[in-house]
Amino acid sequence: MSLYAFFGAVEQGLLFSIMALGVFITFRALDFPDLSVDGTFPMGAAISAILIFNGVNPWLTIAIAVAGGAAAGAVTAILNTRLKILNLLAGILTMIALYSVNLRIMGMPNVPLLGFDTVFTSLENTGIPAYVANVIILGSVAVLVGIFLIWFFHTEVGLALRATGDNMKMVKAQGASTSRMILIGVALSNGLVALAGALAAQVQGFADVSMGIGTIVAGLASVILGEALISSLGVFRAVIGVILGSIAYRLAIAVALTVNIGGVSLSPSDLNLITAILVVVALMFPGLRSKIGAVGR
């Protein structure tokens, strides 16, 4: 892997860690498998891209994208808590609905931003090469989001949210509203996913209605890889784990891209399979580690 591709993987890892932190809120803290992210990720991209296309300040477009994502997440939560639709299905319904909504937002399936000013351009204009500028901005946003989440999970609402994920019956018995916690958690999660989507559109130079494909897979892989890298006790370590997990996932793809093709029977179309195998191998490490530890004892 070249240094440039390595930087590229780190950059993508940081970008997608913001999305993965959103997935972490629902999947781990809230115990709510939320598939709407495959729709809210491109939604963030769609909102940001069409607004930039029409001359709105790039930073402002990100704020609007976050609001849009949070609103979509709220829809999923309401489908689940008010209409009693299974959480998995509620997410799927929002996701497929967002496909049409995203096409409406953009007015076309692909909004190009090539040549437009984005949040990355201002730093690049100071003479910093793009790949460094991208890492600086995406890294800063990821760290800020991480700090925010660590703070949030220690607030009263954050604690109640974690309690809801741990033991919903107990929280209900205490007289607290689990529905409210689900609403806050899923909305916050999808707000972050849309934030990542908005940044993705700006860094890659376009928004495409198909860009949500595989978002949830990347999110879950990052969360699980993060847990494999850092045994997660406590919010602080978990958040760091998700960010590192996301970078590790993108590095796995970068490695998969360099696997020598044209050899015996591997073809470029095997990329997904190679990536999955690499992730599985990575997942086997903590098990091996604990086995070795047990022998050592």
Tokens at residue 186, please? 């899923």
Say which DSSP state 26 is in.
I
> 6 vs 148, which CB is nearer to another protein?
6
**Residue of 21, 149, 188, 200 that binds another protein (CB under 8 A):** 200
205 binds another protein (CB under 8 A): yes
Place of tokens 């690499």: 278
> 48 vs 81, which CB is nearer to another protein?
48
Rounded CA gap, 269 and 20, in Å?
25
128 binds another protein (CB under 8 A): no
Smallest gap from residue 67 Cβ to another protein (A): 23
213 binds another protein (CB under 8 A): yes
User: Which of these, 248, 245, 253, lies nearest to 276 by C-alpha position?
Assistant: 253
What residues from 131 to 170 belong to the interface with another protein (CB under 8 A)?
131, 134
Q: With contacts defined by CB under 8 A, how many residues of the chain interact with another protein?
A: 48
Place of tokens 């050592």: 296
Q: Which span (20-28, 77-85, 92-100, 175-183) binds another protein, by CB under 8 A?
A: 92-100
Query: At 109, is the secondary structure helix, strand, or coil?
Result: coil
Tokens at residue 254, please? 């970068």
108 binds another protein (CB under 8 A): yes
Task: At 141, give phi and psi (nearest 5°).
Answer: -65, -45
Task: At 244, give phi and psi (nearest 5°).
Answer: -65, -40
83 binds another protein (CB under 8 A): no
One-letter identity of residue 219: G
Say which DSSP state 206 is in.
E
Smallest gap from residue 132 Cβ to another protein (A): 11
What residues from 256 to 275 belong to the interface with another protein (CB under 8 A)?
257-258, 261, 268-269, 271-272
If residue 232 lies in a helix (H) or strand (E), which one and from where to where? none
Those residues with Cβ within 8 angstroms of residue 256's Cβ, 6 or more apart along the chain or in another chain: 271, 274, 275, 278
103 binds another protein (CB under 8 A): yes
Smallest gap from residue 17 Cβ to another protein (A): 13
Smallest gap from residue 196 Cβ to another protein (A): 10
Beta strands in the chain (DSSP E): 110-112, 206-208
Residue numbers at the binding site for another protein (CB under 8 A) = 1-9, 12, 16, 96, 99-100, 103, 108-110, 112-115, 124, 129-131, 134, 200, 204-206, 208-211, 213-214, 218, 250, 253-254, 257-258, 261, 268-269, 271-272
